Amino acid sequence: MSEKQKKAIRELTLMLMYLTSWEERDAPGLRAVKKRDLEKYPLVRRCWKGYEHSLLDKLSEEGLINAAGRTYPALITPEGEAEARKLLAQYGIKLEEKERDND
């Protein structure tokens, strides 16, 4: 596979991860945290990681995602979110901005 193809796959994977992501509070053991205490935890962007493991490892090494563990959703880092948004703009894909749900 050429370097150009590898780069395209990396970029497209990051964009798909971002486009299928959601925001949630980064609380340990979410069910154990009382709803009124959730606001203490920052919002993070997560996505399911049904992609090639070596590619996920590379994105993780680059600091764009945190894909620790094989069963948990990946966390898209702020750097990964910025990179994904930049790539989406490059590819001419406009994002529909969602309001953050802060409750």
Asked whether residue 8 is domain-assigned, the answer is: no
Q: What is the pTM of this model?
A: 0.76
Instruction: Tell me whether residue 85 is in a domain.
Output: yes
9 within a domain of the structure (yes/no): no
Identify which has the larger pLDDT, 32 or 100: 32
Can you give the pLDDT at residue 32? 66
The tally of domains found in the chain comes to 1
DSSP per position, 18-76: HHT-EEEE--TTGGGS-GGGGGGSPEEEEE---S-HHHHHHHHHTTSEE--SSSSPEEE
Phi, psi of 101 (to 5 degrees): -90, 110
Host domain of residue 61: 43-95
Are the C-beta atoms of residues 67 and 57 closer than 8 Å to each other? yes
Residue 53 falls inside a structural domain = yes
- Mean local confidence (pLDDT), 82-87: 95
Tens-place pLDDT, residues 24-71: 887 776 566 677 777 788 888 999 988 988 999 999 999 999 988 766
